[in-house]
Amino acid sequence: MNSWQQTFAGHGDHPAFIGGSDDSRVTYRELAESVQRLCREMADAGVDASSVIGFPGQYSQSSLAMFFAVADLHATAVPLPEGADERVGRLLEIALATHGVGDDWVCLPVSPAAGETANPSPPTPLPLKGARGASSPQEVVDQQASHALYESLQQLGHAGLVLFTSGTTGDPKAAVQDIDRLRLRYAQHRDVGKMLAFMQMDHIGGINTMLYVLTHGGTLVVPRTRSPQDVAACIQEHHIEVLPVSPTFLNLMLITGVIDQYDLSSLRRVTYGSEPMPESVLKRLGEALPGVDLLQTYGTTEMGILKSKSESNDSLWMKVGGDGYDTKIVDGRLWIRAHTAMLGYLNAPSPFDEDGYMDTGDEVEVRGQWMRVMGRKSEFINVGGTKVSPVEVESVLLEMPCVCEAAVSGMAHPLMGQIAKATVRLNDGSTLGEFKSQMRKFCKDRLPPEAIPVKVSLAKTSMVTDRFKRARG
């Protein structure tokens, strides 16, 4: 397998990366040179296959060069999310990081014996400058990261990647992926044009977009911000052909009207994933973007992104799997075995069964070869013994003309076990009492009685997480 430097050099002066907050424009030749320079400087600084390197996971010329330099050195990359220093410091701890790179990131020494953090030195900024004048990552920690998963990567001579799950309580799980194994998914050549990078490098969807585009010589385009307006403006300006985003973000594009305000005629395909799509949003999206392929994708931090095929533009039924992927349904939940599966968690037991399958936790309906993802088992609402899907309730609420956003979850009830609770954002100034009356009438013939929300509250601001999913709370 060629090094990333060789792969990039082969694409010459074709644009590799456009955009970001500083509107960078980088050719493949420049990217290859940046990766080569960083490899040399990091090797001189003591970085080797045992090193685990944390760096800002937001797309930029420098972060791209850092990711692929780490990969070419067969070390392990830890792209970090935006956040407070305390949070980032804890993630570096969990990853057993030996190096931290970035304007605000610090290097956390780790005891190699027990995996316990030593007393960190005072925070010291480690600037990562523009790739054309990239500085050394510097500040090397003398300890090596010691963990069986890292040792497995070293024995294979493969590069590693640590991604954190998006759990809401406690420490996130740290999944260790094999970059070389992930890369095999893109071995078959494809013609790739300009694709918008929406999810960042700390998300498996962002990694998938980046590897897919840059392996095949396409152009990765990053909007100035991830607002609907900036994304639509980016599509118009750069003639983006593929838009990979979440259903929640697509709903934001619809309710803000940017689809009508900007020229999006260059789009050939919109892919959506990371959470279930409300059927009403998919219907409105198809009407707003006629002639654009709408493809549902499926993946997890642990398994990577699977190959998928939607039954049709207006259908939530899809096929997933293909070569290197096996699926099975157990008690209504989807289990997956994949060649792109992670090696394991750094800080949690292995989730795989004896045959290599992992329970995704997603409830699915099956119809022949097609399946429909209904949502996480943990998010279903048990109303008097009847399971209620939050996504189906949200889809109906979003059909109401006055509703911009809706988030449905379960609420404890002394008699029923749980009841459905809805938080909605309105666009017409209705009071809570007025909306509840409208909602009950609207839902009466569209939802079973147990699915109609009993508790309702109004939101004044958008209900979106930092990964652009619905914030159910």
* Nearest one of 115, 97, 118 to 176, comparing CA atoms: 97
What span, in angstroms and rounded, lies between the C-alpha atoms of 446 and 453? 12
Q: Specify the higher pLDDT residue, 134 or 381.
A: 381
What is the location of CATH 3.30.300.30 in the chain? 380-458
Read off the pTM.
0.85
CB within 8 A of 338, min separation 6: which ones?
Answer: 303, 304, 306, 324, 325, 326
pLDDT attached to residue 146: 67
pLDDT at 90 over 80: yes
Using the 8-state DSSP alphabet, how is residue 278 labeled?
Answer: P
Distances (CA, A) of 303 to 100, 237, 273, 336, 352: 26, 34, 14, 8, 11
- DSSP per residue over 63-122, as a string? HHHHHHHHHHTT-EEEEEPS--HHHHHHHHHHTT-SEE-BSS-----B-TTTSPBPPPPP
pLDDT at 117: 38
Classify strands 298-300 and 304-310 as parallel, antiparallel or unpaired: antiparallel
Answer for the pair 409, 473: CB distance below 8 angstroms, yes or no.
yes
Report the C-alpha gap between 18 and 373 in whole angstroms. Answer: 34
Please state which of the four CATH numbers 3.30.70.1140, 3.40.50.980, 3.40.50.970, 3.20.20.100 is assigned to the domain occupying 4-183. Answer: 3.40.50.980
Question: Cα–Cα distance between 308 and 321 in angstroms, integer?
Answer: 7
Report how far residue 303's alpha carbon sits from residue 326's, in angstroms, rounded to the nearest whole number.
11
- Residue for token digits 């939802």? 447
Summary mean pLDDT of the chain: 87
Confidence of residue 139 (pLDDT cuts 50, 70, 90): very low
Query: How many residues in the chain?
Result: 473
pLDDT of residue 130: 32
Which amino acid makes up residue 39? Answer: C
Distances, alpha carbon 197 to alpha carbons 244, 306, 323, in Å: 7, 18, 26
3-state class (DSSP) for residue 236: helix
For residue 306, pLDDT over 50 is answered with: yes
Name 40's Cβ contacts closer than 8 Å, sequence gap at least 6.
none
CA 146 to chain centre: 27
Whole-number Å distance between alpha carbons of 418 and 412: 4
The answer, yes or no, to whether residue 346 has pLDDT greater than 90, is yes
d(CA 340, CA 183): 9
Tokens of 31: 């990217």
Residue 116: pLDDT band (50, 70, 90) is very low
Angle of helix 247-256 relative to helix 228-238, nearest 10 degrees, comes to 90
CA atoms within 13 A on the CB side of 404: 19
Whole-angstrom distance, CA of residue 317 vs CA of residue 460? 33
Mean pLDDT on 350-378: 93
Location of each CATH 3.40.50.980 domain in the chain: 4-183
**pLDDT category of residue 143 using cuts at 50, 70 and 90:** very low
pLDDT attached to residue 168? 59
Please answer whether residues 102 and 95 qualify as being in contact, where contact means their C-beta atoms are separated by less than 8 angstroms: no
Name the architecture of domain 380-458: 2-Layer Sandwich (3.30)
pLDDT digits (tens, 9 = 90+) for 4-15: 999 999 999 999
Within 10 Å of residue 299's Cβ, how many Cβ atoms? 22
Q: Percent of the chain beyond pLDDT 90? A: 72
Q: Report pLDDT for 161.
A: 98
Task: Tell which residue, 372, 390, 367, 371, has the closest CA to residue 380.
Answer: 390
Contact 95, 162 (CB under 8 A): yes
pLDDT for res 324: 84
Residue 321 has pLDDT above 90, yes or no: no
Q: With bands split at pLDDT 50, 70 and 90, how would you rate the model's confidence at 46?
A: confident
Q: Which residues of 342-374 are buried (b: 16+ CB within 10 A; e: fewer)?
A: bbbbbbeeebbeeeebbebebbbeeeeebbbbb
Is the distance from CB of 45 to CB of 37 less than 8 angstroms?
A: no
Average pLDDT (166-194) is: 87
Residue 404, number of CB atoms within 10 A of its CB: 19
The pLDDT tens digits of the residues spanning 119-128 come to 333 333 333 3
Burial 251-282 (b: 16+ CB within 10 A, else e): bbbbbeebbeebebebbeebbbbbbbbbbbbb
